[in-house]
Amino acid sequence: MPSCDYLVVGHVSQDITPHGARPGGSVAYAALTVQGLGLRPCVVTSCAEVPKDLLAAHVKVHCIPSQATTTFSLTEGPQGRILQLQALAASIPPDSIPAAWLRAPIVHFAPIAREIPAEAIRRAAGRFIGVTPQGWLRRWEADGMVHPSVWPQAEKVLGEATAAVLSIEDIDGDEALAAQWAEYVPVLVLTRGAEGATVFWQGNAHAVAAPAIAQVVDTIGAGDIFAAAFFVRLAHTRDPLAAARFAVRLASASVTRPGLAAIPTPEEIATALASSR
């Protein structure tokens, strides 16, 4: 039996927000989300210090030592979120992922700053492979300002994956690019914030609406919560549309709380399950 049910690989981060500094990174949001769904998560990361939230939740973490933790400053501008990379942790070599953890039924590659080599995905062959390519779609200037980037290895990586989730911001609004990438992977989801998501599946694009939220507190991490919830439900049901409805519900609820407090509650999970059937 594998020692975990859901392996997620990528950097944890320190996020400097207008409300103060706090831990983040796709792996943190994903691990805590799947734990709330009843799975045993494992995290492979690189950082100077593992976030206390993961330790307190007894998440298994394999950390590659690094003098720094990947750190972003996040502000909101007229065109959306503005990121500046302030520090970068060590990369995550493919052979640093514990072999026993690669036997997890679901393996999620979640880079945030190009820290995972594309060839790492081959180590998870035969598993359900989820990809959130956000970190492969970023480049940064000498001053750390982050901008959208081309992804030459898209076909290679997506061709090995079971499903992928990315946001409209990740591709700078280029919906034609999302449609093109959808040809490489069985299921691709393009998240659209308050507008819900588009599921590309079997040659068609399916719109999934999001519920109205009266007060949005913080959208950071909502996409990561969506992705983790989507991968879990897709692996369980094999129904991309039902999985997307479930994930949209949880991601929408998450924006009412800041930081890792956005992780779905048992009540939210029960409601999302009932409404997604």
Q: What is the pLDDT of residues 207-257, one digit of tens each?
A: 999 999 988 898 999 999 999 999 999 999 999 999 999 999 999 999 999
What CATH number did the domain enclosing 82 receive? 3.40.1190.20
In a domain, 1, yes or no: no
Mean pLDDT of the chain, nearest integer: 95
Total domains in the fold of the chain:
1
Among all chains, which residue has been given the structure tokens 């720094």? 68
CA distance 132 to 223: 9
Give buried/exposed letters for 1-30 (b at 16+ CB in 10 A, else e): eeebbbbbbbbbbbbbbeeeebbbbbbbbb
In a domain, 125, yes or no: yes
pLDDT above 70 covers a percentage of the chain that reads 99
Give this prediction's pTM. Answer: 0.96
Pairing of strands 163-167, 128-131: parallel
**What is the Cα Rg of the chain in Å?**
17
Pairing of strands 20-24, 106-109: unpaired
Neighbour tally for 218: CB within 10 Å: 18
In a domain, 77, yes or no: yes
Range of the domain at 117: 6-276
Neighbour tally for 178: CB within 10 Å: 21
In a domain, 62, yes or no: yes
pLDDT at 44: 98
In a domain, 21, yes or no: yes
In a domain, 170, yes or no: yes
In a domain, 42, yes or no: yes
Model confidence at 277, in pLDDT bands (50, 70, 90)? confident
